[in-house]
Amino acid sequence: MMKRTVLITGASSGIGEACARVLAGEGSYRLLLCARRIERLDNLKKAILTAYPATEVYTFELDVRDRMQVESTIENLPDAWKNIDILINNAGLSQGLDPIQDGDPDDWDRMIDTNVKGLLYVTKAVTPLLKKSAHAHIINLGSIAGKEVYPNGNVYCATKHAVDALNKAMRIDLLPFGIKVTAINPGMVETEFSEVRFKGDKERAKAVYQGLTPLCGDDIAEVIAFVLSRPAHVNINDLLIMPTAQA
What amino acid positions are annotated as catalytic residues? Answer: 156, 160
Piece of 63-71, 76-84, 128-136, 229-237 that binds ligand NDP (CB under 6 A): 63-71
Residue 139: closest CA among 221, 217, 25, 60: 221
Helices assigned H by DSSP within the chain: 14-26, 38-51, 67-75, 105-111, 119-130, 154-174, 193-197, 202-207, 217-228
Whether 143 contacts 185, CB under 8 Å = yes
When the beta carbons of 3 and 147 are compared against ligand NDP, the nearer one is 147
Piece of 6-14, 25-33, 101-109, 229-237 that binds ligand NDP (CB under 6 A): 6-14
Piece of 95-103, 126-134, 181-189, 223-231 that binds ligand NDP (CB under 6 A): 181-189
What residue type is 200 in one-letter code?
Answer: G
Residues contacting 75, CB < 8 A, separation 6+: 125
Q: Which of 188, 205, 224, 228 binds ligand NDP (CB under 6 A)?
A: 188
Consecutive H or E run containing 178: none
Residues contacting 44, CB < 8 A, separation 6+: 11, 12, 17, 20, 21, 33, 59
**C-beta neighbour count of 43 within 10 angstroms:** 14
String marking each residue 204-243 x if it binds ligand NDP according to CB under 6 A? ----------------------------------------
Minimal distance in Å, beta carbon 86 to ligand NDP?
A: 16
Minimal distance in Å, beta carbon 99 to ligand NDP?
A: 20
Q: Which of 37, 82, 117, 204 binds ligand NDP (CB under 6 A)?
A: 37
Per CB under 6 A, contacts with ligand NDP among 76-135 are 90-93, 114, 118
Residues contacting 61, CB < 8 A, separation 6+: 34, 35, 36, 38, 41
Piece of 19-27, 62-70, 125-133, 174-182 that binds ligand NDP (CB under 6 A): 62-70
Considering CB under 6 A, how many residues would be counted as binding ligand NDP? Answer: 30
Question: Judging by DSSP bridges, how do beta strands 137-141 and 86-89 pair with one another?
Answer: parallel
Consecutive H or E run containing 240: strand 238-241
Q: Does 141 bind ligand NDP (CB under 6 A)?
A: yes
Q: Which of 4, 10, 33, 45 binds ligand NDP (CB under 6 A)?
A: 10
When the beta carbons of 134 and 165 are compared against ligand NDP, the nearer one is 165
Give residues in contact with ligand NDP (CB under 6 A).
9-10, 12-16, 35-37, 40, 62-65, 90-93, 114, 118, 141, 143, 186, 188-189, 191-193, 196
